[in-house]
Chain A
Amino acid sequence: MLTLVVGIAASSTPGSDFQSSTAIASLALVPFAVWLTAGLLNSESDASFAVAAVGSGSAVRYRAFSILSIVALTVPLVLFSTVLAWARDKHALQVSVTHILVGLLAQFAAVLMGCALGALVSRPIVTRVGVAWIVGVLLSLSAITLPGSPVRTSVSILISDSPADASNYWWVLVIELALTTLFFVGGLRLFVRRL
């Protein structure tokens, strides 16, 4: 959260527009979600996981529930960053509901991407913690910088266009969110198959 606040605060002077701030928040959310997911999943011992997975009736169900719980943990963070971005916009009263929804979509796409990557660098796929962090950082950077990645696409839309234009791209963000969700589900399936 500190990273996110510093990112948003440092990226713009007071009065900068809402979209730029939510773009920065989206970028910050990717490594944060990777760190949160990998950290929480790795904190559970194999024995503890085994007992809970059997007790819940399905290892797949239990793991899916764990990761979705982590996604849910980030909801307050996304809402907080959205409010912060809105508060720093000098034309805050002119920010429309559509702009806010576009900002939220972009941030949730970033969270889902981060959680999927976090699951992929957790045990049992990557067993060594040091390797997991290095791979996690590289994957986070790739998600942010590689052309065509959902996060980069949404950030590009938010940064490059005027508020009026960006609101016309909401459907692009929906598609990006869908693609990220597919990636998330794919990552989850791979994770579960390795259990």
Chain B
Amino acid sequence: MLAVENVSLRVRHRDILADVTFDVDQGQRIAIVGSNGAGKSSLMRILSGLTQPTTGRVLRPARLAYVPERFDGPRGFAVSTYLGHMAAMRGLDKLRTNERVDESLSAFGLVEFADVLFNRLSKGTAQRVGLAQAFLAQVDLLLFDEPASGLTSDGQAMLEAQMRLALRDGTSIIICHLGDDDSRFDRTLTLSDGKLVGSAEQTEPESEPLYRVAFFSDGRDVDLGAGATALSRSDREVTVVVRSSSQSDVLQRALAGGWRVTSLVRLRSGEDS
């Protein structure tokens, strides 16, 4: 999908990037992290094709979308007009363009700004327009440089929802950011002084252990709470599956209601019967 091979960038006798190599598979979400000046934005510009590396090469897919850290849009353009131009530029026909513009305006909470000129938009709203244009058409690779910059929590939630849809369709996403919440990424690449100093794969978090618990109920009715899922129930015996985190609460409720535990078996992770 994307291959970065020994990429270096030298500007005015200063090494901005040095020998950066990595690749990205289809449908992966990659984070590029590092401190200010580490070379994240320069690497994003190289990935997008806006900057040519001094040495090395980048093999990139044909369909890209890029959103810089701060997007301000062309002054004098209305939001919907701009999105229409961008959709047409990506090859959508007129009918599809109108549909996608409406959908994007809605997805990023921009409907009320459809006819507003860019020079009248706040920084956060303009940033949402920049993000909306990236999702107008199906692309192979989305490149976001600090996309949460200037976004409210609502805006970040809208972005996250759109990214999930794009990932589901096989789009790869590369995001560079300063944040420390990396659990959503398949891999985190760490840049320091222009060098790739770390590449951490995100492993699936271990599933919470489940327990199958059988109770002697003696006909009494007890509310075990949301932490228990019923498996079977007879006149005198109830069998439930309980998550580890809810185990004590469920047992307390059962015992307080006069039930007795007849068996407790730990299941394998994810197994529910």
Contact = CB atoms under 8 A, between A and B. Distances in A.
The answer to whether A and B come from one shared complex is yes
Interface of A: 43-48, 50-59, 195
Contact of A54 (B50, B71, B72, B74): B50
A43 B76 CA distance: 10
Contact of A44 (B49, B74, B86): B74
A50 B67 CA distance: 8
A50 B74 contact: no
A55 B71 contact: no
Interface of B: 45, 48-50, 62-68, 70-75, 86, 89-90, 130, 133, 143
A46 B74 CA distance: 10
Given A43-B75, A58-B49, A59-B49, A51 B68 contact: yes
A46 B49 CA distance: 14
Contacts of B130: 47, 51
A195 B51 CA distance: 7
Contacts of B90: 55
8 contacts: A45-B73, A48-B74, A51-B71, A51-B130, A54-B143, A55-B66, A56-B89, A59-B49
Contacts of A44: 74
A189 to B, nearest CB: 14
Given A43-B75, A51-B133, 20 more contacts: A43-B74, A45-B72, A45-B74, A45-B75, A46-B68, A47-B68, A47-B70, A48-B71, A48-B73, A50-B50, A51-B66, A51-B71, A52-B89, A53-B49, A54-B64, A54-B66, A55-B66, A55-B89, A57-B64, A58-B49
A54 B65 CA distance: 6
A57 B90 CA distance: 8
From A48, A51, A56, A59, name the one whose CB has the most chain B CB atoms within 10 angstroms.
A51
A55 B133 contact: yes
Nearest to B91: A57
Contacts of B68: 46-47, 50-51
Contact of A57 (B50, B62, B71): B62
A57 B60 CA distance: 11
Given A44-B74, A45-B74, A52 B86 contact: yes
B75 A50 contact: no
A47 B65 contact: no
Contacts of A46: 68
9 closest Cβ contacts across the A-B interface?
Answer: A54-B66, A47-B68, A54-B48, A48-B74, A47-B71, A56-B89, A45-B72, A54-B64, A55-B89
Nearest to B136: A55
Nearest to A53: B50
A56 B65 CA distance: 9
A32 to B, nearest CB: 21
A56 B88 CA distance: 9
B149 to A, nearest CB: 12
Contacts of B65: 54-55
Contact of A59 (B50, B67, B75, B89): B50
B90 to A, nearest CB: 6
Given A50-B48, A50-B50, A50-B68, A55 B74 contact: no
A54 B68 CA distance: 11
Nearest to B63: A57
A42 to B, nearest CB: 11
